[in-house]
Amino acid sequence: MSSKTKKPADEWLAEKMSGQVDFEERRLGPGDEFHVQYMRTLTNSDIIFRFIVTPSYEMGDVQAFKNYIASFPGTVQPKDMEQLMEYVLKGYVVITIESECYLFEAVKTETSGIGEAINEAIVQGPRDALSENIELNINLIRRRYQSSALKIEMLTVGNVSKTTVAILYDADRVDRQVLDEMREKIGGVKVDILQSAGELEKYITTQKFRVFPTMVVTERPDRVVFNIAEGKVAVLMNTTGFAILAPTIFTDFFTAMDDKIQVPLVGWFLKVIRYIGLFMTLTLPGFYVTFASYNPEILKVQISLLIAGSRAAVPYPSFMEVFLMLLMMEFLTEASLRLPKAIGPTATTVGGLILGQAATQAGLVSNIMIILVSAVAISNFIIPLSMMGYTVRVIKYIIVLFAITFGLVGMVVSVVGLILYLSGMRSFGRPYLKMTLLEIKSKGERRNG
């Protein structure tokens, strides 16, 4: 390549990198025969010292050193200047020997290692979470899915960030349509910076306005493996500890990895509990408004009087009370989420005490409302995947709005509307609201979504 360009590669590179603080340039060997250039922050100095610096003085012979460098499996010879630059920025060392250019792999990776899954904690079963290094993640998945059918395709997304994105699938089981769509969509992403799986998920969904997540973003390698085996496509990204799974159906968001480990009866029980929790967290605030202001005849007389009694001191209408308490609860949740662990408990204590105890004593909210709000919050936390949890948190306000304006009729309409909306949704052309797992069909009899 050096023959094609006017300037030798090393000089060209030195010129380009002249302003960089961490660009290093050395001449090695007894007679300074070897010109070495690299980025200090991206390379592993230990490797450079052991495999380049020491041998260069010990060997002495130029030809022998050239062969030695070329013998490393990671060593490449750049085709042009751009490739040279790309590799340098990846953490390769440029060694120029007699105007011949070699790229020696000395990539330093700073990783957080394999941590424990925090967001999707489970009782039994594997605790590993995906790390922020794609190689390590692929390693984690390969270890759990030892099949030659597991195919990995690498892509680069992001003009500036150059994030490596890997598409993983089981070639025997994958839905080809979904795979093609996924490839196309990821290939079409035009952004400068791509840093998290959530962002990528946002870029590859076609709908502009979404209420429900149509792709699972998970941090658990076992969930990734489980879904790949089901014929789904997984997308891993460098620099993030999360993977995207598609296509997704509604039930996927209500499946914890625990369900597989438990006795079937217990597994089903847990699933049913989650749906009850979903229903409760969605409808309880709305029902409160309905019962307290529109249709008290639905409840037993004792409960009606109980609500009426506890509301007797409350100065404003029921929906104000509901909105106030729900908002306070959201604040509490958000606050305890973002606070450092050391002060986190303080927020919950103060919030719980003041909101729960004092507010009722002061007559600002009714006792029943406090019970209701805590029930809503707790049943919201039952949803295993936080993305769905967030969505549900928002949707309950819509249902409350309907309840405020139309009472029980509004409740019915909003729940029916929600189901209609969900039934109309598609994830990669597949129906979203399907209450059974995706079945794997042979290529011939596949339906179009």
Partner 1 sequence: MRKGICCLIAIVLLVTLTGCQFKDIDKRSFVLAIGVDRPEDPNQRDQYEVTLKMAIPEGDPTKRSQEAVIITEIAKSVPEAIRLIKSKIDKEPDFSHCKVMVFGESFARDNIVSMTDWTARRRDIQLIMYVAVGKPSAKEVVNMQTKSERLPGNALILSLGTEGTESPFITTIYSFDLHRRVNERGMDPLMPVVEAKKPDMLVIDKVALFDKKKMVSILSPDETRMLNLLRTRNLRTSFHIEAEGQKIDYNLESSRPKYRIKTGKNGKAVIAYKLSGKAMIETNEEGAKMDGLRMKEASKTANKRWEEDSMKLLKKVQSLGVDPFGWGLRYTSRNWNNNTELKQWQQLYPEAEFQVKANVKIQYSGMIR
Residues that bind partner 1 (CB under 8 A): 291-297, 301-302, 304-314, 317-318, 363, 367, 404-407, 409-410, 413
C-beta of 47 vs 320, nearer to partner 1? 320
Which lies closer to partner 1 via its Cβ, residue 238 or residue 283?
A: 283
Say whether the peptide bond before residue 247 is cis (omega within 30 degrees of 0). yes
Is the Cβ of residue 138 or residue 364 nearer to partner 1 in the bound state?
A: 364
Rounded to a whole number of angstroms, the minimum distance from the CB of residue 297 to partner 1 is: 3
| Polymer length of the chain | 449
SS3 per residue for 301-322: HHHHHHHHHHHCCCCCCHHHHH
Amino acid at position 127, single letter: R
CA angle 281, 418, 437 (to 5 degrees): 85
Rounded Cα distance between 443 and 411, Å, is 42
Judged by beta carbon, residue 292 or residue 388, the one nearer partner 1 is: 292
Shortest distance (Å) from residue 377 CB to partner 1:
22
Distance CA 123, CA 410 (A): 40
Q: Kindly give, in sequence order, each residue whose CB lies less than 8 Å from that of residue 422, ignoring residues fewer than 6 positions away.
A: 212, 250, 432, 433
* Rounded (10°) CA dihedral 143, 146, 148, 150: -60
Q: Do residues 324 and 360 lie in contact, with contact meaning Cβ atoms separated by under 8 Å?
A: no
Contacts of 145 (CB under 8 A, 6+ apart): 170, 225, 228, 229
Q: Which residues pair with 166 in a beta bridge?
A: 154, 236
Beta carbon of residue 279, minimum distance to partner 1 (angstroms, whole number): 22
CB 269 within 8 A of CB 448: no
Output 276 or 362, the one with its CB closest to partner 1. 362
- Shortest approach of partner 1 to residue 374 CB, angstroms? 17
Q: Which is nearer to partner 1, 235 or 400 (CB)?
A: 400
- Measured CA to CA, the distance from residue 245 to residue 326 in angstroms comes to 32
* Shortest reach from residue 367's CB to partner 1, in Å: 7
Question: 89 or 303, CB closer to partner 1?
Answer: 303
Closest CB to partner 1 among residues 122, 326? 326
CA distances to 241, 266, 384, 389, 424 from 381, rounded to whole Å, are 22, 19, 7, 7, 26
Q: Minimum Å distance from CB 363 to partner 1?
A: 8
Minimum Å distance from CB 322 to partner 1? 12
Give the nearest distance from C-beta 208 to partner 1 in angstroms. 17
